[in-house]
């Protein structure tokens, strides 16, 4: 069956992902959960194992050739990340173990640098993923900071006028997702940055759900910090990146201490290196960084503009199909969106729907998606969420819709 004309040839791309050939409960796997994590192409899997086969050694420490090669590849990976998100310098990229680790790092280092105290304020939105909520709730418990929330319209659009009113003399940071992992709605970060900076407040942006779906330019966004994980864009688990503007890299104190980030250590003193490695204590996930770079190479060949066009076409097609199903409601309709759709069906609990879909081979997520406050905002215990990746096709959407119709028949 020839797939409809798409910006990328997803059917051909699927050949790079052998894991998709398997069955789920006896039916061909239809993987529609890329927002949770993406599958990895052979190019990434091979890059990691080839690295261990030929170039692996500990980095930044050895004086032998193998170690130089390993270090060089790790630093080239840093450069790859810099160019991918169009940061000014490679020295603005810190490798972390993921988005959650990066946000926790900023929570610790920034609050220490700014000497945050009880009554200081952080602005968040009601739609944040728990990884950009819990670190701030922990600070609230530990030092008594106040959290203020940007409200959301029923459409899924954040209320930017209400945002402007949230600032005070005590505001220390804005921490905001680039797109909702539940609704898919994209937030206009340039505007949010401008408003934050007009109050001399820095802004941290959680880009985990956007970097896999469209080109990102952190200089245009003008955010102070931008964080994302490799496993959400066709790279390995265990590694992510934290972009921080150069002045922050220079000013922020380290959070984790150990080898690789020090200049000198004596029994009662320590001095630290300058630059991003100051935040990379210990032996990092070197092979993970190599896999990260391989995923970037792979995506660059596909073209991020093409990825966005492909997923937008799937999103539009899926919305049109889903809206034909009686009593189905899509949560969050505001455009533009990344390729994520959450919906509920009257009289069918999301878990019952998820089980039927699972049985038909469809992998979707049914639950609160690590965004409990957002569920409360929309008055639902859970939603079913479809999310697209570069390997999804119109046929995947058709299979999902057929399974939903089966569920409707079972529960009627």
Partner 1 sequence: MLRELYQEMIIDHGKNPRNFGELNEANFKQVGHNPLCGDKLVVYVHAENERIQAVRFKGEGCAISMASASLMTELLEGKSLQEAQHLFEQFHLLVTGGVTTDDLGKLAIFAGVAEFPVRVKCATLAWHTIMAAIQRDKEIVSTE
Report, in Å, the least distance between residue 376 CB and partner 1.
Answer: 11
**347 binds partner 1, rule: CB under 8 A:** yes
Catalytic position from the list 239, 244, 370, 400: 370
Chain residues 368-387 in contact with partner 1, contact rule CB under 8 A: 368, 381-382
**367 binds partner 1, rule: CB under 8 A:** yes
Stretch that binds partner 1, among 101-109, 128-136, 282-290, 349-357 (CB under 8 A): 349-357
Both tokens of residue 182?
């539940």
**346 binds partner 1, rule: CB under 8 A:** no
**411 binds partner 1, rule: CB under 8 A:** yes
The site that binds partner 1 (CB under 8 A) totals a number of residues, namely 16
What is the C-alpha to C-alpha distance for residues 67 and 313, in angstroms, rounded to an integer? 46
Question: For 148, phi and psi rounded to 5 degrees?
Answer: -120, 145
Cβ atoms of 179 and 187 within 8 Å: the answer is: yes
Closest of 338, 368, 295 to residue 177, by C-alpha: 338
Stretch that binds partner 1, among 33-41, 47-55, 68-76, 350-358 (CB under 8 A): 350-358
* Residue 370 designated active-site: yes
Closest of 204, 273, 245 to residue 88, by C-alpha: 245
What is the C-alpha to C-alpha distance for residues 383 and 366, in angstroms, rounded to an integer? 6
Q: Which of 350, 369, 393, 401 binds partner 1 (CB under 8 A)?
A: 350
**359 binds partner 1, rule: CB under 8 A:** yes
Strand locations in 277-401, DSSP E? Answer: 328-331, 340-345, 362-363, 365-367, 383-387
Q: Which of 356, 364, 386, 397 binds partner 1 (CB under 8 A)?
A: 356
**284 binds partner 1, rule: CB under 8 A:** no
Strand locations in 74-183, DSSP E? Answer: 93-96, 121-125, 146-150, 171-177
Q: List interacting residues with partner 1 (CB under 8 A).
A: 25, 347-352, 355-356, 359, 367-368, 381-382, 410-411
Catalytic sites, residue numbers: 370
């Amino acid at each position: 069956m020839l797939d409809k004309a798409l910006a990328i040839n997803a059917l051909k791309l699927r050949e790079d992902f052998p894991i998709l050939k398997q069955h789920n409960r006896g039916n061909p796997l239809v993987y529609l959960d890329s927002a949770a994590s993406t599958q990895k192409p052979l190019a990434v899997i091979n890059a990691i194992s080839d690295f261990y086969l030929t170039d692996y050694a500990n980095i930044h420490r050895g004086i032998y050739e193998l170690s130089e090669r390993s270090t060089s590849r790790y630093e080239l990976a840093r450069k790859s990340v810099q160019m991918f998100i169009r940061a000014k310098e490679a020295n603005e990229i810190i490798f972390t173990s993921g988005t959650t680790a990066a946000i926790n790092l900023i929570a610790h280092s920034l609050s220490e640098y700014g000497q945050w105290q009880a009554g200081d304020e952080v602005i968040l939105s009601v739609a944040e993923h728990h990884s950009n909520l819990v670190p701030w709730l922990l600070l609230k418990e530990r030092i008594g900071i106040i959290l203020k929330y940007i409200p959301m319209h029923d459409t899924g659009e954040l209320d930017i006028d209400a945002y402007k009113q949230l600032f005070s003399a005590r505001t220390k940071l804005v921490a905001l997702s680039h797109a909702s992992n539940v609704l898919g709605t994209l937030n206009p970060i340039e505007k949010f940055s401008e408003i934050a900076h007009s109050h001399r407040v820095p802004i941290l942006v959680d880009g985990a759900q956007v970097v896999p779906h469209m080109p990102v330019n952190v200089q245009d966004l003008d955010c102070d910090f931008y964080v994302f994980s490799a496993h959400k864009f066709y790279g390995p688990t265990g590694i992510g990146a934290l972009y921080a503007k150069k002045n922050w890299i220079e000013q922020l104190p380290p959070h984790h201490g150990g080898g690789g980030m020090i200049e000198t250590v004596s029994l009662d003193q320590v001095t630290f290196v300058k630059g991003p490695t100051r935040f990379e204590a210990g032996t990092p996930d070197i092979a993970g960084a190599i896999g990260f770079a391989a995923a970037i190479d792979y995506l660059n060949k596909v073209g991020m503009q093409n990825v966005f066009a492909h997923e937008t076409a799937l999103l539009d097609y899926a919305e049109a199909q889903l809206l034909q199903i009686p009593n189905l409601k899509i949560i969050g309709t505001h455009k533009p969106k990344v390729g994520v759709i959450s919906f509920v069906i009257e009289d069918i609990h999301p878990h019952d729907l998820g089980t039927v879909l699972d049985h038909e081979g469809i992998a979707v997520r049914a639950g609160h998606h690590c965004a409990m406050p957002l569920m409360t905002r929309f008055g639902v215990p859970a939603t079913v969420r479809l999310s697209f990746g570069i390997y999804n096709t119109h046929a995947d959407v058709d299979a999902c819709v057929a399974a939903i119709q089966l569920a409707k028949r079972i529960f009627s």
